[in-house]
Amino acid sequence: MQYEQAQSMSVVYNLGLATRVPLGEGRTFTVGERTVAVFRTRSGALLATQAECPHQRGPLADGLLGGNVLVCPLHGYKFDIKTGLAVGHACGSLKTYTVELSDREEILLRVEDS
Amino acid sequence: MKKEKLVVIGNGMAGARLVEELLARGGAAHFDIVMFGDEPYGNYNRILLSGVLAGTHDPRDIFINPLSWYQEKGVTLHAGVRVERIDGRQKLVHGAGGITEHYDKLVIATGSSAFVPPLVGLKNESGQYKEGVFVFRTLDDCTAITQHAAKAKKAVVIGGGLLGLEAARGLLELGLEVHVVHLKGHLMELQLDAKGGAILQRTLEGMGLHVHLKKNSRELLGHERVNGLLFDDGSSLACDLVVISAGIRPNVELAREAGIHVERGIVVGDDLRAPNEQDIYALGECAQHRGRVYGLVAPLWEQAQVLAERLSGRNPQALYTGSQVSTKLKVMGIELAVMGAQEVTGEQDEEVTYMDATQGIYKKLIIRDQRLVGAILLGDTSSAPNLLSAFGRGTQVPESRSELLFPSMGEASTPSVLQLPDTAQVCNCNGVSKQNILEAVSKGHRTLKKLCDATRAGTGCGSCKKDVQALLENAVGDNSVEDPSAHYYVPGVPLAKAELVAEIKARGLRSVSAVFEALADGREDVASKTGLASLLKTLWGKDYEDERDARFINDRVHANIQRDATFSVIPRIFGGVTSPAQLRQIADVAERHNVKMVKITGGQRIDLLGIPKEKLPEVWRELGMPSGHGYAKSFRTCKTCVGSEFCRYGLGDSTALGIAIEKRFQGLESPHKMKLATAGCPRNCSEATTKDVGAVAIGGDRWEIYVGGAAGSRVRKGDILCVVDSHEDVLKLMGRFMQYYREHGKYLERTHDFVERVGIDKLRRLLVEDEEKLAARLDADIQAAVDAFVDPWEEAMRPHHPSQFTHTLPMESEASGSVARPVTAEA
Ligand SMILES: Cc1cc2nc3c(=O)[nH]c(=O)nc-3n(C[C@H](O)[C@H](O)[C@H](O)COP(=O)(O)OP(=O)(O)OC[C@H]3O[C@@H](n4cnc5c(N)ncnc54)[C@H](O)[C@@H]3O)c2cc1C
Ligand code: SF4
Ligand code: FES
């Protein structure tokens, strides 16, 4: 379960053109101190989660994405990419980020707190 | 009508089961359901934790309801939130972190915790358990034990009851030296008498366990971390891991502090309500009913049903009158069934025993007035179904006692599940009776999978599945509906392979997304992507419209991902024959890139491990060798023996043949990987008879072709497809078989399963005798696939996408010139 923090800062980062991420795949970005996996679905929507799998730190950007489901490449654990919730296992949920496409087709990533 | 709020404290086996039973009875219409669970997960099957520890179950396989289930069902779950206080007057529940919920009805299902005896030196200076000291109750305990075990050598389990022995089994499987220390005179005294305990001990000692009886542990030695155990008698035992499993204590503090009547457990009546509380109920291991606190799951299933009947209003008068405890267990893999009394209680009781210590078998029956009142079956529980039903229903037992002990001796051999009464329990993990199963069948659940999902039978340890299958077959006879989805090529497109192929060809579908669009209502299914990609590539060859996101990461970057997210690079070494120059080349590359490990593989190749994704193109370029496809669902390699050129036994040139095979079929996509081998004589040094496809020279230029062999998780000797008399014919027949497998194998079906499914006779008729005149077409198609081969490592020169080999992108974007900087900051 996640709880909204009452007071939080949010910062928006521009990660460059969306085409840096191939269609249907994900790539890891370093954003300040943290790493974030950004995905671009075949329909062009952007999604973002924490970069490492809570199971054994598998690189989620290298995973398979289909529908709402993200599959970690190391042991196949599944996550709902929109909510971050674990699907059928106990390794906890993913932190998800709000990410949008700018007018100039750039990736805008919103990060809570500073 | 306004809905009432139902709050459940505890998201364990009882709490979650209650909610399920309630929802099944339309409870969502009456209640908003809120649950608190101290463990930060959904709900899992605690019984299977021993399997997780032993490594036979993956943690994710023991989940009954993942977190997403709660969302779907509209149940609010405060996962990882411990309830700290119940305020019965205000009807409030206060959880950690200030989470408060009001309730109309409250159910306490807090289960129990491990009992930890007051040992000296249990904790370190900061008040924590010493490093290396654990209890065994939750998934987190399990994880912590496994992690510590990886660096430990010698473990002691304090307590020789069921749970202690299960923990011991897990630790043995993890490769530790394991000692069980028990206070009592024999193991598992709650379930077994002294003789039974002694026999069990003997069997366990045979498995490598060390057992110490009548030992009272006094002190844990060591400063920060444990390094030994001291006993009352002054003796001691060195160890670096301790699991305390000395019994359980119901979690009743919450109830006690709220003024609810508590004895050993939370006292409840037949309505499962705390007598002096109007709206508070309890069930599971924290509840005490008619003086008993149960420590097994079967009773709590019954409690959950009764309480759900009452709360849902389906049957507000439903009562729970107690459970007869009979259990079938596996202790360290040894079968055990116990029911009722353990010892005779007077003259009127008759005792029948049988003992075979070398086989580890012990059976004891207690009979009173011709009725079975107790039984212990250890090591052989074949008569358990019979006895359980005689015990459960109180029927008269046959005069011949040996018939009871050894069902096959009498007329009435072990009744199959078909002969058991309807009330008999079939699934002991989930408390499912024969009647439950038959009812579900009549409601239309007519495939094994649907039946199991509907009743939960077979979803615990799985040992009753064959009984469920038998009941299903018997009930529906010839009307049994096969689960159509079992035949789908991939789960997300409802077509078997042949129909799918027909549709793909008819509609000209050349990409994975086109298939989803046309044949799956546009629904993209992640589990279907790689299978479709493989099929489309096989069908269309170079006309395939390649969407890289449908490939598994290995096939996107043509290397095998490792546990630390680096990759392994295996260049092709045809037939395992190399040269000093090639070896030097590999050595230079390995040195230049500080390759973490250089390893000779089982397939006679050289593996360079630990290459970062970014470095792959560079490494390939420097090697100047083609890909060995050590990552793909495709032709992998052909292992060879020395053969006739050098070996004094050799009858055929197995190296030359192996090289020819590998050159021809390298990289050929297939439903699963294909590993091949050639052997120069039947001594079979290259293990060709247990490969997917193999050739063995038998003299006079003749070769036996084997298909469907396996030496992985399953071992199977291949079947001889045919005998041919030239290298050319070996290549031809092998190719024909591979093409047929490519066309008809299910995705991820290895050749050994494929050959068994199709049958070797049919394969011979089709591929060798050419009964259906397929051979020419198969030969032409495999030739076309061979011709279409392109070495994927050429992408070192021409990447498919600028960031194909990029692992981490920096924020800076060169493409647009715009910078990855905070563009806004809002408070
Ligand atoms: C390793 C192992 C093997 C077992 N094998 C078998 C077997 O083979 N056969 C068999 O019949 N039984 C077996 N059992 C016993 C069986 O698991 C229990 O009988 C059953 O889990 C009891 O269910 P419960 O819901 O009452 O308690 P639990 O499953 O323990 O659930 C209680 C839950 O409540 C939570 N909780 C407690 N206090 C609070 C609080 N204040 N606030 C919020 N949440 C709280 C706990 O975290 C826990 O998740 C085994 C048990 C273990 C540990
Ligand atoms: S299989 Fe026969 S030919 Fe090949 S190495 Fe062994 S003994 Fe020699
Ligand atoms: S690391 Fe992600 S599933 Fe194991």
Structure tokens at B590: 């390995």
For chain B, list the domains and their CATH numbers: 4-111+251-312 (3.50.50.60), 115-249 (3.50.50.60), 326-408 (3.30.390.30), 425-482 (1.10.10.1100), 486-551 (no CATH), 633-802 (3.30.413.10)
Give Cα separations from B252 to A75, B80, B215, B381 (angstroms).
39, 19, 30, 36
Identify the band that residue B474 occupies on the pLDDT scale cut at 50, 70 and 90: confident
Interchain contact B523–A (C-beta under 8 A): yes
Which residues of B, range 131-160, sit inside 8 Å of A by Cβ? Answer: 139
CA-nearest of A75, A89, A85, A97 to A10 is A97
Task: Give residue B66 CA to ligand 3 midpoint distance, Å.
Answer: 16
- pLDDT, position B598: 96
Minimum mean pLDDT range among B8-17, B476-485, B508-517: B476-485
Q: Is B698 in the pocket of ligand 2 (CB under 6 A)?
A: no
Is B647 close to ligand 2, i.e. is its CB under 6 Å away?
Answer: yes
Closest-approach residue (CA) in chain A for B827:
A9
Q: What is the percentage of chain B residues whose pLDDT exceeds 90?
A: 67
* B744: CB partners within 8 A, 6+ apart: B497, B498, B754, B758
Q: Is B461 annotated as a binding residue?
A: no
Q: Which of A66, A93, A108 faces B529 most closely, judged by CB atoms?
A: A66
pLDDT at A4: 39
Ligand 2 midpoint to CA B576 (Å): 15
CATH number at residue A54: 2.102.10.10
pLDDT at residue B410 tops 50 = no
- Across B329-358, b (16+ Cβ under 10 Å) vs e yields bebbebbbbbbbebebeeeeeeebeebeee
Using the predicted structure, report yes or no on whether residue B595 has a pLDDT greater than 80. yes
Tokens of B671: 């439903």
Two tokens, residue B324: 């007869």
Q: Binding site annotation covers B681?
A: yes
Q: What is the pLDDT of residues B267-316, one digit of tens each?
A: 999 999 999 899 999 999 999 999 999 988 889 999 999 999 999 999 99
Distance CA B370, CA B398 (A): 8
Write out pLDDT tens, residues B791-815: 999 999 899 998 999 888 876 543 3
Nearest by Cα to B569 from B792, B764, B300, B816: B792
Contact B665, B629 (CB under 8 A): no
pLDDT for B816 equals 40
Between CA B417 and CA B189 the distance in angstroms is 31
Average confidence (pLDDT) over B16-22: 95
Specify the DSSP element, H or E, that contains B248: strand B248-250
Taking 80 as the threshold, does the pLDDT of residue B416 lie above it?
no
B526–chain A Cβ distance below 8 A for any pair: yes
CB contact under 8 A, A11 and B825: yes
pLDDT band for position B323 (cuts 50, 70, 90): confident
Q: Which of residues 33-92 of A touch B (CB under 8 A)?
A: 35, 42, 56-59, 61-67, 69-71, 73-74, 77-78, 80, 83, 85-92
What does the buried/exposed string (b/e) look like for B489-500 if buried means 16 or more CB atoms within 10 Å of the residue's CB?
bbebbbbbbeeb
Output the pLDDT for position B819: 43
Q: Average of pLDDT values for B769-779?
A: 95
Q: Share the mean pLDDT of chain A.
A: 88
Q: Whose CA is nearest to atom 7 of ligand 1?
A: B47
Which range among B60-64, B461-465, B542-546, B673-677 shows the weakest confidence by mean pLDDT?
B461-465
Pairing assessment for the beta strands B635-640 and B674-679 based on DSSP bridges: parallel
Q: Kind and range of the H or E element at B187? A: none
Average pLDDT of span B387-411: 73
Q: What is the pLDDT of residues A23-39, one digit of tens each?
A: 999 999 998 888 999 99
Distance of CA B139 to the CA centre of its chain: 15
Report residue B608's pLDDT band, with 50, 70 and 90 as the boundaries: very high
Average pLDDT of span B386-411: 73
Provide the shortest C-alpha distance from residue B112 to chain A (in Å): 21
Over residues B92-146, the pLDDT tens digits come to: 999 999 999 999 999 999 999 999 999 999 998 888 899 999 999 999 999 999 9
Ligand 1 pocket check: which of B46, B145, B252, B294 to mutate, most ligand atoms within 8 Å of Cβ?
B46
Read off the DSSP letter of residue B272. S
Split at pLDDT 50, 70, 90, the class of B394 is confident
CA of B386 to the centre of ligand 3 (A): 45
- Residues from chain B contacting residue A15 (CB–CB below 8 Å): 809, 811, 813, 820
Compute the distance between CA of residue B428 and CA of residue B659 in angstroms, rounded to an integer: 55
Position in ligand 1 atom list of the atom nearest CA B14: 25
- Integer-rounded Cα radius of gyration of chain B: 32
Give the helix/strand (H/E) hosting B738: helix B727-744
Predicted confidence (pLDDT) at residue B744 exceeds the cutoff of 60: yes
DSSP three-state, residue B295: coil
DSSP-derived 3-state class of residue A61 = helix
Number of Cβ within a 10 Å radius of residue B722: 18
Best to test chain A binding among B58, B67, B78 (most A CBs inside 10 Å)? B67
- Of B453, B455, B416, which Cα lies nearest the Cα of B438? B455
Give A49's strand partners.
Answer: A37, A96
Distance in angstroms (rounded) separating the CA atoms of residues B736 and B773: 12
- Return d(Cα B329, Cα B516) in angstroms, integer: 46
Which ligand minimizes its atom distance to the CA of B682?
A: 2
The four Cα atoms A38, A40, A46, A52 give a dihedral, to 10 degrees, of -20
Does A86 sit within 8 Å of B67, measured CB to CB?
yes
What sign does the dihedral B472-B477-B479-B481 (CA atoms) show?
positive
Q: Average pLDDT of B569-590?
A: 96
Q: Is B748 helix (H, G, I), strand (E, B) or coil?
A: coil
**How is residue B201 annotated by DSSP?**
H
CB atoms within 10 A of CB B279: 15
Q: Is B729 exposed, middle or buried (0-12, 13-18, 19+ CB in 10 A)?
A: middle
pLDDT of amino acid B590: 97
Torsion A10-A11-A16-A17 (CA) sign:
positive
What does pTM read for this prediction? Answer: 0.59
> How many other CB atoms sit within 10 Å of the CB of residue B141?
17
pLDDT > 70: percent of chain B: 95
Q: How far is the CA of B716 from the centre of ligand 2 (A)?
A: 21
* Strand arrangement of the beta sheet that strand B334-340 belongs to: B326-331, B334-340, B371-378, B361-368, B349-356
Which has the higher per-residue pLDDT, B356 or B638?
A: B638
* Structure ipTM: 0.89
With a 6 Å cutoff on the Cβ, whether B11 touches ligand 1 is yes
Chain B CB contacts of A106 under 8 Å are 813, 816, 818
Top-confidence residue, B712 or B772: B772
Q: For B179-212, what is each residue's pLDDT tens digit?
A: 999 999 999 998 899 999 999 999 899 889 999 9
- The residues facing A29 across adjacent strands are A36, B809
Asked, for residue A46, whether it belongs to a domain, the answer is: yes
Give residue-wise pLDDT tens across range B23-70. 999 999 999 999 999 999 999 999 889 889 988 788 888 888 889 999
SS3 B97: helix
> Does residue A34 sit within a domain?
yes
- What count of CB pairs under 8 Å joins A to B? 173
Q: Residue B425: exposed, middle, or buried by beta-carbon count in 10 A (0-12, 13-18, 19+)?
A: buried
Question: What does DSSP assign to residue B136?
Answer: -
Query: Contact B224/B131 with Cβ under 8 angstroms?
Result: yes
State residue B359 phi and psi, 5-degree precision.
-90, -5
Q: How far apart are CA B720 and CA B372, in angstroms?
A: 56
- Name the closest ligand to CA A87: 3
Q: Do B60 and A19 touch (CB under 8 A)?
A: no
Mutate to test the pocket of ligand 2, among B646, B655, B684 (most ligand atoms within 8 A of CB): B684
Mean pLDDT of chain B: 90
For chain A, the domain total comes to 1
Residue B461: its pLDDT value, please? 65
For residue A7, is it within any domain? no
The answer to whether the beta carbons of residues B18 and B107 sit under 8 Å apart is: yes
User: Amino acid identity, residue B321?
Assistant: T
Which chain A residue lies closest to B524 (C-alpha atoms)? Answer: A67
Using the predicted structure, report yes or no on whether residue B605 has a pLDDT greater than 90: yes
Q: Which of A25, A64, A90 sits opposite B526 (nearest CB)?
A: A64
Q: A19 to chain B: nearest residue by CA?
A: B815
What residue type is B523 in one-letter code? R
Partner residue opposite A62 with nearest CB, options B561, B819, B827: B561
**Residue A58 located in a structural domain:** yes
**Sign of the C-alpha dihedral computed for residues B129, B133, B138 and B139 taken in this order:** positive
Residue closest via CA to ligand 1's atom 23 equals B13
- Per the CB < 8 A criterion, the answer to whether A3 and A107 are in contact is no
The residue-averaged pLDDT of B699-720 equals 92
Q: Does residue A53 belong to any structural domain of this protein?
A: yes
- Say yes or no to pLDDT of B818 above 50: no
pLDDT at A6: 42
Taking the Cβ of residue B814 and every Cβ of chain A, the question of whether any pair is shorter than 8 Å is answered with yes
Are the beta carbons of B820 and A15 separated by less than 8 Å?
yes
- List the domain range (segments joined by +) for residue A81: 12-112
Asked if B766 and B773 touch (Cβ cutoff 8 Å), the reply is no
Give me the pLDDT at residue B362, please: 92
DSSP per residue, B676-742: EEEESSTT-TT-GGGSSEEEEEEETTEEEEEES-EESSSEEPPEEEEEESSHHHHHHHHHHHHHHHH
Weakest-pLDDT range from A50-59, B355-364, B778-787 = B355-364
A3, part of any domain? no
What pLDDT is attached to residue B483? 62
A2 touches chain B (CB under 8 A): no
Q: Does A5 touch chain B (CB under 8 A)?
A: no
- Helices B512-519, B497-507: axis angle to 10 degrees equals 100
pLDDT band at B408 (very low <50, low <70, confident <90, very high): low
Contact predicate B645/B655, CB 8 Å: yes
Q: Vertex B270, ends B267 and B275: CA angle to 5°?
A: 45
